[in-house]
Copies of this chain bind each other. A is one copy, B any other.
């Protein structure tokens, strides 16, 4: 078969266990070390991850589980892959389709494959799943939550300042004298979008502006369904500005407005969320709340690696990263 530590040991004139120790970073006499290194080089030896796994019950892999394969999750995952691959971890991908039953299956699936840890993009995860996740932690399997916390589950979390970012975004509109500001929100059942909506309410309240319920489009502008958006402009006093709290809502709003022959920013001002490639193609350039994807991925990876090394000193960490406001030309000063 392949080259094993026995072959290396023989070639180097030491015992297999010494080779093993060398490979795992234990102390080895200088002379032996160089001989082993030479043998490894000469023979082209590579560790057998399965055999190692059989002892360790871990396969040097990280489960990355998300509610769907959207561009946001995949962007983070992509960056995660680069960092973790360097640390010799592979990614085991899972899509739980926003279904907690499927999530349980994926968690089982991942554990049966002896993953070393879990990165979970949480979406509407409730108490029923918490015990299952707790089992991961109990088995010393780190769980890092991204974007959204899970009520009742204490673990590391990497998220952004959703409420604050939204506050600033809406404030920006208010300071340019907009008072009738509508919101096109992502799925309001998700905590992250509730937070962003909360930022909106806070801003409106802070500046003593009243909010009409009909200004809040709660399910976003999903595939083809921009009727809610149109209703906005059938109001006797239509909004002069829109705050879109997610990428899809942003793009959907742009097209919907276009469809209605409303020009940005002349007829309606817009501030959106998330800068992905397709957004560059929109005219005028949009003013956007931009999430630091690279930084998110980096933070997740660092935190995960730290836990994998057994360092739980600062557990649980909750890292909140700052978003950035990209100034485009989609806001008109009234």
Q: Which residues of A contact B (CB under 8 A)?
A: 1, 46, 49-51, 53-54, 57, 59-61, 69, 71, 74-75, 77-78, 81, 85, 90-95, 109, 112-114, 221-224, 226, 248, 251-252, 255-256, 258-259, 277-278, 280-283
Chain B residue at minimal CB-CB distance from A222? B277
Residue contact B281 to A224, C-beta cutoff 8 Å: yes
List the B side residues contacting A281 at CB < 8 Å. Answer: 221, 223-224, 226, 251-252, 255-256
Chain B residue at minimal CB-CB distance from A2? B57
List the B side residues contacting A74 at CB < 8 Å. Answer: 69, 74
List the B side residues contacting A93 at CB < 8 Å. Answer: 77, 81, 91, 93
Residue contact A92 to B95, C-beta cutoff 8 Å: no
Bound CA–CA A92/B77 (angstroms) = 12
Residue contact B94 to A92, C-beta cutoff 8 Å: no
Residue contact B95 to A81, C-beta cutoff 8 Å: yes
Q: Which one of B50, B255, B258, B277 contacts A54 once the chains associate, using CB atoms below 8 Å? A: B50
Residue contact B278 to A248, C-beta cutoff 8 Å: yes
Chain B residue at minimal CB-CB distance from A281? B255
13 A-B residue pairs with Cβ-Cβ distance under 8 Å, sorted by A, are: A46-B112, A50-B50, A60-B113, A69-B74, A69-B77, A71-B71, A74-B74, A78-B95, A90-B113, A93-B93, A223-B280, A224-B280, A251-B281
List the B side residues contacting A94 at CB < 8 Å. Answer: 81
List the B side residues contacting A283 at CB < 8 Å. Answer: 255, 258-259
Given contacts A50-B54, A224-B280, 4 further A-B contacts (CB under 8 A): A49-B114, A50-B50, A91-B93, A223-B280
List the B side residues contacting A92 at CB < 8 Å. Answer: 61, 90-92
Closest 4 CB pairs of A and B: A259-B283, A224-B280, A223-B280, A255-B281
Bound CA–CA A51/B59 (angstroms) = 11
List the B side residues contacting A226 at CB < 8 Å. Answer: 281
Q: Which one of B50, B85, B223 contacts A109 once the chains associate, using CB atoms below 8 Å? A: B85
Residue contact A251 to B224, C-beta cutoff 8 Å: no
Q: Which one of B50, B61, B75, B114 contacts A69 once the chains associate, using CB atoms below 8 Å? A: B75
Q: Tell me which of A50, A61, A85, A114 has the highest count of chain B C-beta atoms within 10 A of its own C-beta.
A: A50
Bound CA–CA A94/B319 (angstroms) = 27
List the B side residues contacting A112 at CB < 8 Å. Answer: 46, 49
Q: Tell me which of A53, A61, A77, A91 has the highest count of chain B C-beta atoms within 10 A of its own C-beta.
A: A53
Residue contact A251 to B223, C-beta cutoff 8 Å: no
List the B side residues contacting A78 at CB < 8 Å. Answer: 69, 95
Bound CA–CA A113/B240 (angstroms) = 56
List the B side residues contacting A50 at CB < 8 Å. Answer: 50, 53-54, 57, 59, 114
